[in-house]
Structure 1
Amino acid sequence: MLEMKNLKNTADVLKYIEEQNRKVKKTKLYEDINKGLLKKQADGTFKLRDVDRYLVSLPVLGTTDSVAEKASERQRRKEEQEIRRITAIANKEEFDLAVKQGKFIAKEKVYQELAARAVTLGMQIKTAFEVSAVELVELVEGNPKKTNSLKQKLTEIFENALSQKKWTLKSS
């Protein structure tokens, strides 16, 4: 066993791995280094601590490739699951912060506000038509041929009722 903090090169890493009763092919080692699973120092050496961490992911000598692949797949799924869990926690914390900052409104409050506005709008339109009733009767003089004039006037009353300042949404 090598008694130093850093292993000089990949040949030393392969030797150390074999001494630890683990197995890895040279090409797999290079792939894992490129993927960042084993960190290579700027001077080309490998910290023994990093190699020991990498060893955990390797199969024991005598393990068949299929068993090793299954173990590797289980490890990969476990890591992905952990990433999803951490991401979900982070998303929840971000949402909770946004709620505390007032960026979201509870559904119940929105529904109450919409219901109040709908009631007020209905009352306002009803009042507008009642106030204009006499004018509407005079406009058509009971003549069905003046239906278009009536429709235009009703549309005008309706649009005026909707466009009143009360109906613009408040911006926070």
Structure 2
Amino acid sequence: MSFRANSIAKIEDGAFRNLTKLERLFLNGNRITTIEDNTFKDLANLNTLKIYDNPYHCNCELIGLVDFLKSGRVTVSGDPRCFTPGNLNGTSLVSLSAANLTCPDMTTIPTTISGTESDNTIDTTTEFVKTTYETNSSPLKGGNFLVIAYVSLCSLVKTMIEF
């Protein structure tokens, strides 16, 4: 299936969901900057993929794609390369590692949790901002509860609530 040179900027999640017999997919020559982790997941018969000549923004959102390309599950025709950020411009996607694919400085996002912000630290191993809130108004047990929110600008949000 060829979508070559169609000015495609985004591939919606699930766009190829029911195309299980698809063997060749050409997305080269478009305006795609990122491809979601599970975009090609359901394409069990995919053997050739052309995704070069797109302006990829190489950050943490491309980790899944890079892993997929390195898996050897499909033949990648051409050489897809980073366009941005500037320090990765021209770098082949298959030569990248997770360490290269970082996201911008992390920040907290305003929340509606009422309580006292007791901790706000940056976890340098994961590059997430860790914000801890304590409150004495748990809607489930009537006792104290702790909310720890990990937030990044790459829309990766993990929230853990302990009761």
- Normalising by the smaller structure, the TM-score range is under 0.3
Q: Which entry has the higher C-alpha Rg, 1 or 2?
A: 1
Which structure dedicates a bigger proportion of its chain to strand?
2
Structure 1 length as normaliser, TM-score? Answer: 0.20
Which structure dedicates a bigger proportion of its chain to helix?
1
